[in-house]
Amino acid sequence: MPPNRRRSGAVLGIIGGGVCVVLIIVTLIVLITLRSESGFPDAKSALTLPETLVDGRFQLAQDLSDSEGQRIEDEAGAGYVKITDTVVGKYDLGGDESRGALLLSGMYGRFSNTVMPRENMLKGAGEGEGMTVAVGPKVFMQSGSPTVSCEVLKQDKSGTTLTYPVCAWADENTAAAVASITSETASQDPSNMDLRFYAKLTLQVRSEAVQPIG
């Protein structure tokens, strides 16, 4: 039986609200827990919000960088990382939120530590209001790419429970979390979530969203 589109739309709309706030807080946690270190790498790459992601499957629906991203910078304080800017964007699957959504939330600049941001993004996401870590973080490594960590979260909001993966990467210039959900996976058994697939999806998002400076 096909999913109820009206209900799916309402459910997926949560990813633009509750999940978005969570990942913004996650980014803030990353910033305020990194310690200032010498030997920062050169700034070679920037995190962007392309009009589409994942080979055009997801279309940009909301650019929240100016509002939510600025709040991160204002609250983060100086001296922890050499941050250039923050990026927060919500994407809809095929331009239709009822089919699915993807949230990209991160920053770019110069990072002397690429492990702590990735770990803290997932840790912070699991500690958000109404959040439960259904499947703990798993680490995925692929030759020539940054390490990606993924977990499965359950979010209870307004009487609705959503299940979705959150993955994070961090390299010398960019750090971001990617949350994705579809009407089919929103109620999926967390133990059946293919986190390796979502780790690869996250690397694809990175390959399209990270662009060389200049």
Q: Taking the domains of the chain in order of start, what are their residue ranges? A: 5-209
92-147: pLDDT as tens digits: 999 998 899 999 988 899 888 888 888 888 888 888 788 899 999 999 999 999 99
5-63: pLDDT as tens digits: 333 344 444 454 556 555 655 565 565 555 555 578 888 999 999 999 999 999 999 99
Residue 196 vs residue 12, higher pLDDT: 196
Average pLDDT over residues 135-163: 92
Which pLDDT does position 7 carry in this prediction? 37
Which pLDDT does position 41 carry in this prediction? 84
Average pLDDT over residues 189-203: 96
For residues 107-117, b (16+ Cβ closer than 10 Å) or e, as one string?
A: bbbbbbbbebb
Give the whole-angstrom CA distance, residue 90 versus residue 48.
Answer: 12
Least confident of 70-79, 144-153, 186-195: 70-79
Q: pTM of the predicted model, to two decimals?
A: 0.84
Residue type, 46: A
51-99: pLDDT as tens digits: 999 999 999 999 988 876 555 554 444 445 788 888 999 999 999 988 9
Average pLDDT over residues 184-203: 94
At residue 184, φ and ψ (nearest 5 deg) are -80, -35
